[in-house]
Amino acid sequence: MSDFIPPAKPLIGDEERAAVDRVLRSGMIAQGPEVKAFEQEFSEHFKLGRACVAVNSGTSGLHLGLLSAGVKAGDEVIVPSFTFAATANAVALTGATPVFADISADDFCLDPTAAEAAITDKTVGIMPVHLYGHPAKMEQLMQIGRDRGLHVFEDAAQAHGAALNGTPVGAFGTFAMFSLYPTKNMTSGEGGMVSVADAEMERNVRLYRNQGMEQQYHNEVVGLNNRMTDINAAIGRVQLTKVDAWTKQRQDNAAFLTANLDGVTPPPVADGAVHVYHQYTIRVHDDRDGLAKALKEEYNIGSGMFYPVPNHRLKPFQADVDLPATELAARECLSLPVHPSVTQADLERIVSAVNTLAKAGA
């Protein structure tokens, strides 16, 4: 059988290894100059026009961003249910309640109309997810935020470099979080980057990241240790020099798949949106699970289901809400390999396999 085509593949090169070695040899490996440089370079690279604060994971970034905005027990934050559980977990960890709203069928992201309908007198914020690397409908969501006096927070875990009508994701909300987990579009090993709208948010995230201290041993709030190490930052700085080429490769791979797949629905791209294809997610209308199984067993092609169980049905949340677009997407979504290591021959194998299976009714 042909070689396995994995659904994701982190890319770590000699430059990353040399950068780690440089930090290890320096003897100073905890948060230090590498982290500071990475924060500045990340903000500049993605033209965010705002400060960034590095933390030890994307989930920590969401948690600290929410704490920094004052989200607390008794509050509600509106989130999509069709996302990784970290989105809702971060809200719940502040003591607030994640309130699940439906997605739009045309971009897999939070539906502004559904989000607005979920607002109560306890709502303090709305946190869309730029799912799969496609920007959420930020203009409408920001307008709702302004009209109703609510924060908008961005879960940009999957969307490094995505943009909407010329504005990069991460430059809209009170804060935004980019994940740097190994399978994301760029990595620092583990890590997260928080972009912040103003100096007060920046100060708060820095405080919560480090036990509530700006000045050592003069703790101002109850904080955590969610610092990034210089080892991780050194990896991230190298990845920043490569991520644009990887994104271009993802987009080229996606364009080929969209032009050639037949019998399944390719991922939509909104007008004015730059999609960075963290995932290339098709809809399989008949038997998604059967198609995924056959891809693996008959063609040695990996795929992913993001996400088969919507958050509102997960054990910790169990919300009694009716989210038809979410339920349908959870049944139909299938992510095909699109990462930069996928070759032209791989793409041709994927197209041929999916088209054959789709024609046969999976």
Ligand X SMILES: *Cc1c(COP(=O)(O)O)cnc(C)c1O
- Site for ligand X, rule CB under 6 A: 57-59, 83-84, 86-87, 129, 155, 157-158, 179, 181, 192
- 12 vs 351, which CB is nearer to ligand X? 12
Total Cβ atoms within 10 A of residue 331: 14
Write down the least CB distance from residue 61 to ligand X, Å: 7
Smallest separation (angstroms) from ligand X to the CB of 199: 25
Q: What are phi and psi of 274, to 5 degrees?
A: -100, 115
> Judged by CB, which is closer to ligand X: 81, or 158?
158
- Count Cβ neighbours within 10 Å for each residue of 150-189 and write b for 16 or more, e otherwise: bbbbbbbbbbbbbbbeebbbbbbbbbbbbbbbbbbbbbbb
Of the candidates 80, 75, 77, 154, the residue with the CA atom closest to the CA atom of residue 112:
80
Of the pair 135, 263, the CB lying nearest ligand X is at: 135
Q: Name 169's Cβ contacts closer than 8 Å, sequence gap at least 6.
A: 130, 135, 138, 154, 156, 159, 162, 163, 176
DSSP 217: T
Helix, strand, coil in percent for the chain, rounding step 5: 40, 15, 45
Query: Cβ 195 to ligand X, closest distance in Å?
Result: 15
CB of 62 to ligand X, least distance (A): 6
Q: Which is nearer to ligand X, 84 or 153 (CB)?
A: 84
**Which residue, among 324, 284, 328, 294, has the nearest Cα to 308 in the 3D structure?**
328
Residue with Cβ nearer ligand X (182 or 302)? 182
Question: Minimal distance in Å, beta carbon 259 to ligand X?
Answer: 27
Catalytic residue numbers, as ranges: 184
| Residue for token pair 């703790």 | 219
- Least distance (Å) from ligand X to the CB of residue 155? 5
Q: Which residue in 54, 37, 7, 55 sits closest to 253, CA to CA?
A: 7
Integer CA distances (angstroms), 112 to 81, 129, 164, 255, 358, in order: 14, 12, 15, 28, 33
Burial of residue 3 (CB within 10 Å: 0-12, 13-18, 19+) is exposed
Which of residues 52 and 294 has its CB atom nearest to ligand X in the complex? 52
Closest chain position to ligand X (CB): 58
